[in-house]
Amino acid sequence: MEENKNDFTNGNILSKLLKFMMPILGALVLQAMYGAVDILVVGQFGTTAGISGVSTGSGIVNLVIFTIAGLSMGVTVVIGRYLGEKKPERAGQVIGGAICLFLVMSAVIAAAMLIFARPLAILMQAPKEALELTVQYVRICGGGIVFIIAYNVISSIFRGLGDSKRPLLFVAIACGVNVLGDLFFVAVLDMNVAGAALATVLAQAVSVVLSLVIIKKQKLPFTMKKADISFNPEIRKFVRVGIPIAFQEVLTQLSFLALCAFINRLGLDASSGYGVANKIVSFVMLVPGSLMQSMASFVAQNVGAGLEKRARRAMVTGMFIGGTIGIFIALFSWFGGSLLAGIFANDAQVIARAAEYLKGFAPEAVLTAVLFSFIGYFNGHEMTFFVLLQGIAQTFLVRLPMSYVMSIQPNASLSLIGLAAPSATVFGILINAAFFYFYSKKIRGAGRTNT
C-alpha cells in the first residue's frame, strides 16, 4: 500500500502531486517559521541592531544551507530515478556515498565559517552597530553546521523515496525546539543574537538525533550494508546532478547577499527593514519552493518509467496550483505589508521599510510558481546544467544590475529594489519556455512522447 502511494507513475496527477506536495509545503512552512522566529524574538526582546545582525548573519548561513540543499537534490533525483526504474537496491549505495561526502563537507564548511566570519560580515557591509552581532551569529551556526547539513541530507533522501511526511516530522521537531530555545536564550537570558544562533543549532541537533531514532524503527523500501557507506561510484552520479543545482543556489544566495549589502549601505533602519521583509519573503516563496521539490521527484519517477507525457502534464498542473495560490499571496503582500512586518518588529521605521520592499517583491509570488515548475521539470530530467545556466543569466543580467542601480539612486526606494526579483523571474520564464519548446520538439522527433 505504501509503495503504491509513493508511486507517481500512475493515478490522478493533481491528486498525487498535491498529496506529495502538502507535507513538503508543511515542512517548508515550519522551516520558514524556524528561521523567522529568530527575527521575531530578537525584534521583540532584543535590539534593532540585533535584527540587522540576525538578518545579515542568516544570509551568510543560508548560503551554506541552500547550497547543501541544492547538492542533496542530486540524491533526491537519483533515488527517484532508481525507483522509477525498479532498482531500489541501488538506493543504499547512493545514501552510503552521501553520508561520507557530506560529513567531509561539514568539517570543511565549519572551519571556514569559524575562521572567516568577520571578513564575511565586513564584506556584507554590516552596519557598525551590528558587526559584532553578525560575527557571533555566523560563528555559532558554523560550529553546529554538521547538524544543519545532516537535516537537509536526511530530508532529501526521503523525498527521493517519495516520502514527504517524515521530513515534515523532522522539521516540526526542529521548529518546536527552536521556538523554545529562542524564548529561553533571548527573552529569558537576554542573549540577543547569540541566543538566537544557539537555539538554531540546538534545534537542528535534536531534530537529527530524533530523526535517526525514528528512521531506525521504520521499514524502508531499500537495504543498506556497511560496505555501502564509502566513497563509492554513486557519489559521482548524484554530484553530477546536484552540482549545477547547488551552484545555481550559490548564485541565487550570493545575489541575495549582494542585495543585503546594497541595502546595508542605506543605514540601520533599511537594513533591519529588509531583514524583516526577507523573513516574510521566505513565507511568500513557500508554495513555489514546495512545487519545485515535488516536481523533481514526480518527474524523475515518470522519466525513469518512460512516461514523458505524464511528466509534462505534471509540470503544467504545478503551474496552475502555484499560480492560483500565488495571486492571493501577492495581493496580501502588496496591501498588508505593514501588518505582516508588525509581527516581527515594533519599530515604526523598520516596519515602514519592510512594507516598502514587499510592494516591489509581491509579483514574485505568482511568477516564481511558473518558473519553479519549469525548473523542477528539468531537474527531474537531470538537465541541471541548463538550470544552472538560466540561473546565471537571471542573476547577472537582471537581478544584480537592477538591484545595484536602484540602491544608488538618491533617496533609494526599497520598492524599486524589491522589483528586481520579479523582473529577473520574468526573464527566467522566457528562457525556460523557449528551452522547453525546443526540447519538446526534440523528444517528439525522437519518438519519445510515449503514453
* pLDDT tens profile 90-116: 777 787 888 888 889 899 999 999 999
CA-to-CA distance for 75 and 94, rounded, in angstroms? 7
- Write out the residue range of the structural domain in which residue 194 sits: 8-444
Nearest to 313 by CA among 7, 84, 17: 17
Residue 28: predicted pLDDT: 72
Answer yes or no: are the C-beta atoms of 38 and 199 closer than 8 Å: yes
pLDDT tens digit sequence for 67-77 = 888 888 788 77
Assigned domain for 2 exists? no
Assigned domain for 343 exists? yes
User: Which ranges constitute the DSSP H helices of 336-448?
Assistant: 337-344, 348-361, 364-380, 384-394, 400-407, 414-418, 420-445
Q: What percentage of the chain exceeds 90 in pLDDT?
A: 9
Mean pLDDT of 190-204: 87
Residue 450: predicted pLDDT: 54
Domains contained in the chain, number: 1
Mean pLDDT of 299-314: 81
Contacts of 31 (CB under 8 A, 6+ apart): 171, 174, 175
Average pLDDT of the chain is 81
Cell numbers representing residue 258 in the block: 549582494
Answer yes or no: are the C-beta atoms of 250 and 67 closer than 8 Å: yes
Cell numbers representing residue 274 in the block: 529588509
Assigned domain for 449 exists? no
pLDDT band, residue 2 (cuts 50/70/90): very low
**pLDDT(390) > 50:** yes
pLDDT band, residue 210 (cuts 50/70/90): confident
Assigned domain for 125 exists? yes
Residue 367: predicted pLDDT: 93
Nearest to 109 by CA among 75, 67, 78: 67
Assigned domain for 74 exists? yes
**pLDDT(359) > 50:** yes
Residue 3: predicted pLDDT: 45
Question: In a 10 Å sphere around its CB, with 0-12 CB exposed, 13-18 middle and 19+ buried, how is residue 340 labelled?
Answer: buried
Assigned domain for 3 exists? no
Mean pLDDT of 140-169: 79
Mean pLDDT of 250-272: 79
Assigned domain for 1 exists? no
Mean pLDDT of 349-355: 86
Assigned domain for 359 exists? yes
CA 99 to chain centre: 21
